[in-house]
């Protein structure tokens, strides 16, 4: 499949939003509850993961919202 990448993170379509953190190298992980559109539409930029609206997608996993994800420090 297609991969969207920054210097520290690789994103791809999986059963959900799949990612590989290149700084931790803990293997492939999934961000549950988020399904990308028909094409890889997650963009890692400036410390955020931007996911634009996927309304034009014609598959059964429609994403009718745009959102951003930001890492927070575990406390």
Residue 32: which domain range? Answer: 3-70
* Whether the model pTM is above 0.75: yes
Residue 56 within a domain: yes
Residue 75 within a domain: no
Residue 13 within a domain: yes
**Phi, psi torsion values for 74, nearest 5 degrees:** -70, 135
Question: What CA–CA distance (Å, rounded) separates 65 from 48?
Answer: 16
Q: How far is residue 38 from each of residues 25, 42, 65, 72, measured CA to CA in Å? A: 27, 11, 14, 28
pLDDT of residue 75 exceeding 80 = no
| Local confidence band at 62 (pLDDT 50, 70, 90 cut-offs) | low
Calculate Rg over the CA atoms of the chain.
Answer: 12
* Contact (CB, 8 A) for 24 and 30: no
Per-residue pLDDT tens digits for 9-48: 999 988 789 999 999 989 999 988 888 877 778 999 999 9
How many domains would you assign to the chain?
Answer: 1
């Amino acid at each position: 499949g297609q991969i969207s990448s920054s210097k520290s993170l690789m994103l791809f379509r999986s059963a959900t939003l799949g990612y590989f953190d290149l700084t931790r190298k803990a293997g492939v992980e999934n961000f549950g509850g988020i399904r990308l559109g028909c094409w890889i539409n997650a963009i890692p930029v400036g410390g955020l993961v931007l996911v634009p609206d996927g309304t034009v997608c014609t598959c059964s996993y429609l994403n009718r919202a745009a959102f951003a994800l930001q890492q927070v420090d575990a406390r």
